Amino acid sequence: MTKSPVIGKRIKNVRKSLNLTQVELGRKIGMNDKAASSRISHYEQATHYPPYEFIIALSKLSQFPISYFYEDNEELASSIQILYNLSHGHKKLILSVLSELKDRDCAS
């Protein structure tokens, strides 16, 4: 896995969407108050790479899928988030439509 500033950007976006400070986010994920702000700041600025366990905890807390944090393409990351929050039935419908579009595109 390569180090990418996109992870820091996604962490910050998710934290802000939860209306949490760095300390509050750290506390909710199990960090001590002294380390939380500094560590999360380093992750958001991409000066340190967050451990996978941090991403798992943030994913559970925020309901953002793990893949969202690692996706470089903004459009795809947004699509991942939208799809993740749909009901199972709606996911099946979307995947069916995508499959049909792919088949039509390949046939032409």
Domains of the chain: 5-107 (1.10.260.40)
- Residues 6 or more apart from 43 whose CB is under 8 A from it? 7, 8, 11, 49, 50, 54
The pLDDT value recorded for residue 84 is: 87
DSSP 53-94: HHHHHHHHHHT--HHHHH---HHHHHHHHHHHTS-HHHHHHH
pLDDT above 60 for 1: no
pLDDT over threshold 50, residue 70: yes
Quickly state the pLDDT bin for 23 (edges 50, 70, 90).
very high
pTM across the whole model: 0.80
pLDDT value at position 90?
Answer: 92
In whole angstroms, what is the distance from residue 67 CA to residue 84 CA? 10
CB 11 within 8 A of CB 69: yes
